[in-house]
Copies of this chain bind each other. A is one copy, B any other.
Amino acid sequence: MRLIVARCEVRYSGRLDALLPESLRLIVVKADGSVLVHADAGGYKPLNWMTPPTVIEERPGRMVVRKRAGASEDRLEIEIYEVLCDVTYDMGSPDDHAALAKDGVEAHLQELLAERPECCGEGFRLVRREWPTDIGPVDLMCRDAEEQWVAVEIKRVGGIEAVEQLARYLERIRRDPALRSCRGVLAAQTVKPQARVLAQARRIAWVEVDLAVLRDEREPELKLFAA
């Protein structure tokens, strides 16, 4: 990894054109060819960057990073006016088994709800996870207390797209005469207002589920809103 602190000007051209005027910034060149240009504020996101694979061409006072992007080319031109620091560190093999382990993402939520489908609706029993349709799998397929079919879409944050997605699935599912009356439920940690409105219009129910409740196996306290 190479770290350069320098006064520089950056031009990007590719999917759009961008000009970053001269100022003091951090340039990171990673072992895999990644190049990042960071300011001393505005966390997370680089001002400019190029993801690998890249070809880096360097001359004194100038660095050009290229990338093949289909017919055209992405290009990052860094004009360097003053260098305050330029150091390189060998950080070891990249195939380290030091990968990031996450817990609490949507997949996890799906696992927990598969174990406790009744949290998605009164009397729900799981028929199968990842129920296939011709445009992709529905997260959960259940039957309710009246033996009616219910398709459940699970999201961490339930927005309009989630309602649309479930609506598309239902359209396909209901083509099967046996599933003609299949209902839909959107289950999410939070369901946004606009999504609630749209769900209402699409006759899709929604329910907010609490990850902590699912984990602790506390009383669910169903907050279900029918379509």
Q: Which residues of A contact B (CB under 8 A)?
A: 1, 3, 5, 15-26, 28, 30-36, 38-44, 46-52, 84-85, 87, 89, 91-92, 94, 96-105, 135-136, 160-161, 164, 168, 194, 197-198
Knowing A30-B41, A197-B135, the reply to whether A16 touches B103 (Cβ < 8 A) is: yes
Assembled-state Cα–Cα distance A36/B41 (Å): 11
Knowing A5-B1, A168-B198, the reply to whether A38 touches B28 (Cβ < 8 A) is: yes
Partner of A28, one of B26, B49, B105, B136: B26
The residue in chain B whose Cβ has the minimal distance to the Cβ of A46 is B44
- Given A24-B96, A40-B92: 17 more A-B contacts, CB < 8 Å: A16-B102, A16-B104, A18-B103, A24-B89, A24-B91, A30-B40, A31-B40, A33-B43, A34-B41, A39-B91, A40-B89, A41-B94, A47-B100, A48-B100, A85-B89, A135-B198, A161-B161
In the complex, chain B residues whose CB is within 8 Å of the CB of A21: 97-99, 101
Asked whether, in the complex, the Cβ of A43 is within 8 Å of the Cβ of B36, the reply is yes
In the complex, chain B residues whose CB is within 8 Å of the CB of A26: 1, 3, 28, 91
Knowing A100-B47, A101-B19, the reply to whether A194 touches B30 (Cβ < 8 A) is: no
In the complex, chain B residues whose CB is within 8 Å of the CB of A44: 34, 36, 46, 49, 51
Asked whether, in the complex, the Cβ of B41 is within 8 Å of the Cβ of A32, the reply is yes
10 A-B pairs with C-beta separation under 8 A: A3-B3, A16-B103, A21-B99, A24-B89, A24-B91, A26-B91, A34-B43, A41-B94, A44-B51, A85-B87
In the complex, chain B residues whose CB is within 8 Å of the CB of A36: 38, 43-44
Asked whether, in the complex, the Cβ of A32 is within 8 Å of the Cβ of B42, the reply is yes
In the complex, chain B residues whose CB is within 8 Å of the CB of A101: 18-21
In the complex, chain B residues whose CB is within 8 Å of the CB of A94: 39-41
Which 3 A-B residue pairs are closest in the complex by CB-CB distance?
Answer: A34-B43, A16-B104, A21-B98
The residue in chain B whose Cβ has the minimal distance to the Cβ of A39 is B97
Assembled-state Cα–Cα distance A97/B15 (Å): 24
